[in-house]
Amino acid sequence: MRFSANLGFLWADRPLPDAIRAANTAGFDAVECHWPFDVPAPLTKAALEETGLSMLGLNTRRGDIARGENGLAALPGRQADARAAIDEAIAYATGISASAVHVMAGNSSGPRARAAFCENLIYACETAGDSIQVLIEPLNHYNAPGYFLSTTGQALDVIREIDKPNLKLMFDCYHVQIMEGDVTRRIESLLPFIGHIQIASVPDRGPPDHGELDFAYVLPRISELGWVAPVGAEYLPKDGAQSDVSWLARYR
């Protein structure tokens, strides 16, 4: 099994190009990130080419963080801002040959929010074209209270309604375990709709080598189901120990 280092959490104290190099040294097969926009795309691309790693994905901007915004796509009346964020993320992804963009929904609810989300996702899918996947991700209501998507069922309803081949589910085992449980059966049933899988321990979001979710069982099951893409390691390092990747060799 192959793994991707999420540089939003791992080596987050370093400039993105240096974090890419650190992930390569640690033995990861790919990288992914959250919001790389402060780093010019050519610098990121150069680090990727130097290491031979691919960038699996990045997020659209959250919006006004000081006001508590956590995405824009499901905010009624914010279509222009949401689409500017989508354009920016797709352009950056294209510039570094990233394979996916996670369109962040934001904190909202109700029919108007859902309509805005669907309209903006259609725009994202059409703008991304064939080379970039558009991902949506349910977030748990402890880490992201008020977020528009909190369950895989909600996400699946949106994916089915929009019916675009490049719209997929980001299945984060950490969030799904907290909100729904039954992780391996959910992966099995949702596999045709999943574009990326992420892992972290539950409930502390630490390295995936402890906690209530047994990745020694989950990861082999994912492999048995035919998943061949790198699994994203999106976890908080223990005590800030950025080099704590002892789990990596064990789960390979």
CATH number, domain of 43, equals 3.20.20.150
Comparing C-alpha atoms, which of 195, 209, 205, 155 is closest to residue 175? 205
pLDDT category of residue 241 using cuts at 50, 70 and 90: low
Select which of 49, 88, 224, 234 is catalytic.
234
Note if 137 is an active site residue.
yes
**pLDDT tens sequence across 27-63:** 999 999 999 999 999 999 999 999 999 999 999 999 9
- Give the β-pairing of 231-233 and 3-6: parallel
Domain tally for the chain? 1
Contacts of 108 (CB under 8 A, 6+ apart): 74, 75, 76, 116, 146, 148
Domain boundaries, position 188? 3-251
**pLDDT tens sequence across 158-213:** 999 999 999 999 999 999 999 999 999 999 999 999 999 999 999 999 999 999 99
Q: What is the pTM of this model?
A: 0.96
Select which of 50, 69, 88, 137 is catalytic.
137
Compute the mean pLDDT over every residue in the chain, rounded to the nearest whole number: 96
